[in-house]
Amino acid sequence: MCIGYFDASYPSVNVQSHTICVYWTFAAISQVLLSRAT
């Protein structure tokens, strides 16, 4: 998801994919921290 296949042709799609990638990375880290906390 992090890789921008469509940089040249579809920059808006690439930006959206990158945003989704960042969101899921943050969510995964949060889950790990929560599981360690309990």
**At residue 1, does pLDDT exceed 50?**
no
Residue 2 near residue 19, CB atoms below 8 Å = no
Quick one: which of 11, 31, 29, 8 has its CA closest to 19? 11
The tens digit of pLDDT for each residue in 2-17 reads 454 445 555 566 666 6
pLDDT band at residue 22 using 50, 70 and 90 as cut-offs: confident
Give the mean pLDDT of the chain.
70
In the numeric block, which tokens belong to residue 21?
């990638």
Residue 23: DSSP 8-state? H
DSSP label of 30: H
Distance (Å, whole) CA 27 – CA 4: 20
Total domains in the fold of the chain: 1
Query: Could you please report the per-residue DSSP string of 3-21?
Result: S-TTTTT-HHHHHHHHHHH
**Which range of residues forms the domain containing residue 17?**
1-38
